[in-house]
Amino acid sequence: MDFPRLLVSLLISNVFFSVLFFPFAEPIPSADEDRSIINPSCCLGPKPSSAVRKNWTCRSVTPASPPITDSGCAVWSEACSEAVLGLASGPETVELVRNIRRKIHANPELAFEEFETSKLIRDELDRMEISYKYPLATTGIRAWIGTGGPPFVAIRADMDALPIQEAVEWEHKSKVAGKMHACGHDAHVAMLIGAAKILKTREHFLKGTVVLLFQPAEEAGNGAKRMIGDGALENVEAIFAVHVSHMHPTGIIGSRPGALLAGCGFFRAVISGQRGRAGNPHHSVDPILAASAAVISLQGIVSREANPMDSQVVSVTSFNGGDNLDMIPDTVVLGGTFRAFSNTSFYSLLQRIKEVIVEQASVFRCSAMVDFFEKESTIYPPTVNDEKMYEHVRKVAIDLVGPTNFRVVPPMMGAEDFSFYSQVVPAAFFYVGIRNETLGSIHTGHSPYFIIDEDVLPLGAAAHATIAERYLNEHG
């Protein structure tokens, strides 16, 4: 099916089916509330310690029938992609994904606080009779559809909102002051729920198991890293994820092989000297002079040490010293960010930033301490697409939207904690466009004016479902 026909199908279905909004009704569970284990054998992979297991809910349904191998999509074809797209653009799926997205949008929750969002997702999984394990990483969910056996392929959606006050006036505006889904994670969850509905309908075709990961704390807290620690990737051999993008028109799908998003880190340095009168600087040890030299020297790391073909960034964004115009202060605090597209370059930058600040401070008789906030989980490695997984996404996208609506996108200096998954198993991260000037869907993520073109939701669901089913078809 070409992309124009897809849009027509989506627009027609949207005219005839309105969306109702239902606020969350269940209270947030307490952090120490024990959740009963329902049929623990349904939890795939090795069992954790009893201290962890006592807080799990693990719901199981009857395993799927053996996969059909002599009919249907035994050999993947364009007709199989059209069948998935047809389910995605059907009125039930369109209504479902819009409802889910709007409910979550109106009730945003920050990192590791996504209790109501998680409850909403689990209610939908229960309705669809899909097995799952909860919680992972405090609020996360690992669900699965298919045979229960290998191969296992994962598709992931992030759930958290941002500490931003929404400035868009519409019916489903955020009800929580100072919190907003300003990066599209509400849409990501809706797309994955839509994909779950499609895959459950086609479960008899699955030649293995699709793992659905609903992840907390992408924006802050390295939720992906904690999900992995709690077993999210157990048995998984490949993983995929989508992100909405205002840079591309609605329905465009884009990705690239290799480095897609940069690794990102932050630093804070405290340079200490000796306080003294500004009129008698020889009686002081001046940390402002030392810090100024450090800022200048930091710029030489990229301009004189990095390969010009290897894009890197070191930016000092904060510089705070004394507030008395007649006194040299005893300390100066400076900080900033650094980015790179490979793990080697990223960790080399980290090491050199520390060395430059400490050594430059010593030149001026000062001392320095540098903090990279590693305990606060603010370091994100580069997001690197496996070439074979990228090629899989490209094939799926071309079948769904046509070759002219797939784009090889340039790498970006933004960061994503999907990078932690890509360090463990072959992975591919891709974009789906939401730019629509008529609707005002033109603002970048993390903007209080951020909105999305909801016509993209069924396409995102179809992309997720097709990527997963076709992967199993070709690797089962």
> What CATH number does the domain containing 12 carry?
3.40.630.10
Measured distance CA(147)–CA(150) in Å, rounded: 8
pLDDT at site 374: 85
- Token look-up 């070409």 returns 2
pTM of the entire predicted model: 0.86
114 and 60 share one domain: yes
3-class state of residue 427 by DSSP: strand
198 and 334 share one domain: no
151 and 122 share one domain: yes
Q: What is the pLDDT of residues 185-221, one digit of tens each?
A: 999 999 999 999 999 999 999 999 999 999 999 998 8
| Domain that includes residue 230, residue range | 3-261+382-475
Q: What is the pLDDT of residues 145-172, one digit of tens each?
A: 999 999 999 999 999 999 999 999 999 9
| Domain boundary pick from 337, 358, 376 | 376
Q: What is the pLDDT of residues 20-70, one digit of tens each?
A: 333 333 343 443 443 333 343 344 444 444 444 445 677 666 554 444 444
407 and 331 share one domain: no
Measured distance CA(134)–CA(217) in Å, rounded: 16
431 and 451 share one domain: yes
| Domain boundary pick from 321, 347, 376 | 376
146 and 277 share one domain: no
395 and 332 share one domain: no
340 and 394 share one domain: no
347 and 213 share one domain: no
| Domain boundary pick from 359, 376, 393 | 376
CA 234 to the chain's CA centroid: 19
Q: Can you give the CATH number for the domain in which 349 is found?
A: 3.30.70.360
182 and 219 share one domain: yes
pLDDT at site 35: 36
202 and 328 share one domain: no
186 and 158 share one domain: yes
Number of domains in the chain: 2
Please choose, from the candidates 332, 296, 302, the residue with its C-alpha nearest in 3D space to the C-alpha of residue 314. 302
Letter string b/e over residues 92-121, b meaning 16 or more CB atoms within 10 A of that residue's CB: ebbbbbbbbbbbbbbbbbbbbbbbbbbbbb
Question: Does 31 or 223 have the greater pLDDT score?
Answer: 223
